[in-house]
Amino acid sequence: MPIQVLIIDPHAVTRLGIKQAFSSRSELEIIGEAATIAEGIRIAHDKNPDVAIIDPTAGGDQSIEMLRKLHQELPRLRTLVFTAKDGPEVATQMVALGASGYLIKAADLDEVVVAIQSVHVGRLFISHSHTLRVIPSPHSVNRETACELLSQREREVLGKLADGMTNQQVAEALFLSVKTIETYRSRIMKKHKLADRAELVRFARECLDPCVTESA
């Protein structure tokens, strides 16, 4: 079954180019396109794509908040940031916000396909080896920045897990499904390279102390 892809890009020419390039690739299927992240969220809820290719500028002046909103509402959606902006700082920020991959628009078609396939199976993809080498580990992010980069929902889930609640108890407290809580927990641990629950609790107490207090 082909990987179902949603394109979110403010430029009609870019969306058209991606669709034409993928038209001959049987392993990929474009199931929708959007000019804004808000529109993309609505389409993703309706069509449930496997991967979304996103240009962050599709969020306009609120691109960071819109990316947070997307990952909060669609925690199981794999996202590949596709941008003209290159550099380790941009890549680090996008991954910290929940992106599964980061690719610059100068990439060739084969690299785009590999990136989509990689994020679809749960691997982190960063374009260009020089960027991959210099992208800092989430552990190097200071406490204030780490807290700031978590969405409000991630803070709530993290705080309640740190308080000793089970996934079931967190799900009931936040009126979400257990599977959704498991997805949030897995994403937080992957994003910050936490090996087990003990490290998760330590991360919450060291990095999110004020946030944990607010969401408990």
* pLDDT for the residue numbered 13: 93
* pLDDT for the residue numbered 149: 62
* pLDDT for the residue numbered 203: 77
**Percent helix, strand and coil across the chain, each rounded to 5?**
60, 15, 25
* 76 φ, ψ (degrees, to nearest 5): -90, -10
User: What mean pLDDT do residues 60-87 have?
Assistant: 88
| 106 or 52, which is more confident | 52
| 40 or 149, which is more confident | 40
Residue 112 has pLDDT above 80, yes or no: yes
Are 156 and 163 contacting, i.e. CB atoms less than 8 angstroms apart? no
Q: What percent of the chain has a predicted confidence (pLDDT) above 70? A: 84
User: What mean pLDDT do residues 29-55 have?
Assistant: 96
* pLDDT for the residue numbered 116: 93
The string of pLDDT tens digits covering residues 142-192 is 545 556 666 778 888 888 887 888 889 999 999 999 999 988 888 888 777
- Provide the 10 A C-beta neighbour count for residue 7: 27
121-127: which pairs have CB atoms within 8 A and are 24 or more residues apart?
122/78, 124/95, 124/100, 125/80, 125/100, 125/101, 126/91, 126/95, 126/101, 126/102, 127/102, 127/103
Domains present along the chain, CATH in parentheses: 3-134 (3.40.50.2300), 138-210 (1.10.10.10)
pLDDT grade, residue 94 (50/70/90)?
confident
Q: What percent of the chain has a predicted confidence (pLDDT) above 90? A: 33
